[in-house]
Amino acid sequence: MRAAYPTAAGIQWDSQAEPEMRWVMDFILGVRQIRGEMDIAPNRKLVVLLQNAAPRDVEYLGRNLPYLSRLAGIEPPRLLAPAETAPISAVALLGNLEILVPMAGLIDPAAELDRLAKRLRKAEFDLHKLDAKLSNSQYARNAPPDIVAKDQQRIAELRTEIGQLSAQTARVTKLKDQ
């Protein structure tokens, strides 16, 4: 109780730990984004395939597999051979490493297409509404600049979302056609 509070001065900085932990965090974030985009329950263990893995990626994977399995909710990942073709999958990129989550068996393609179509219609409606609002010269002149900038940022976000939803719809349609 009477000891001095520890200071960071006595701690050695590990220059190799920081990039490795960034890799681990980005890997987990990629899997969680796929899970969120595909509306997959957090408690469901995912099969993960890795494509274009560099030696550094394999090294980081080996050292951090227990953390990745627990925090990303995945089975031990399988490395794909360079010439091996991947099944239709949701993809997250981590540098050149592609984190693939095969979609077969994870989702009901028809229900997923309906869900994506609803989200796409809503995003397109919101985009059209904001475009109309910003194209009104009265609004653009009279609205505070920060509100106009916020609306323009929202338009950019909606365009990105529409692109992502369209790409996801194409992937699910391929899965449905198989």
**Strand blocks (E) in 7-62:** 49-51
Q: What is the largest CA-CA distance in the chain?
A: 70
Residue-averaged pLDDT of the chain = 88
Measured distance CA(67)–CA(25) in Å, rounded: 10
- pLDDT, tens only, 4-15: 887 877 778 888
For 92, 129, 143, 147, 151, the CA distances from 135, given in Å and listed in that order, are: 36, 10, 12, 14, 11
**Predicted pLDDT of residue 116:** 82
Asked if 48 contacts 31 with a C-beta cutoff of 8 angstroms, the reply is yes
- pLDDT, tens only, 124-171: 999 999 999 999 889 888 889 899 999 999 999 899 888 878 887 887
- pLDDT, tens only, 117-134: 998 999 999 999 999 999
Residue 73: band (very low, low, confident or very high) from pLDDT cuts 50, 70, 90: very high
- pLDDT, tens only, 40-68: 888 999 999 999 899 999 999 999 999 99
**Predicted pLDDT of residue 151:** 92
What is the SS3 string spanning 54-87?
Answer: CHHHHHHHHHHHHHHHHHHCECCCEECCCCCCCC
Q: Report pTM.
A: 0.67
Q: Under 8 Å CB-to-CB from 67, ≥6 apart: which residues?
A: 24
Measured distance CA(30)–CA(91) in Å, rounded: 8
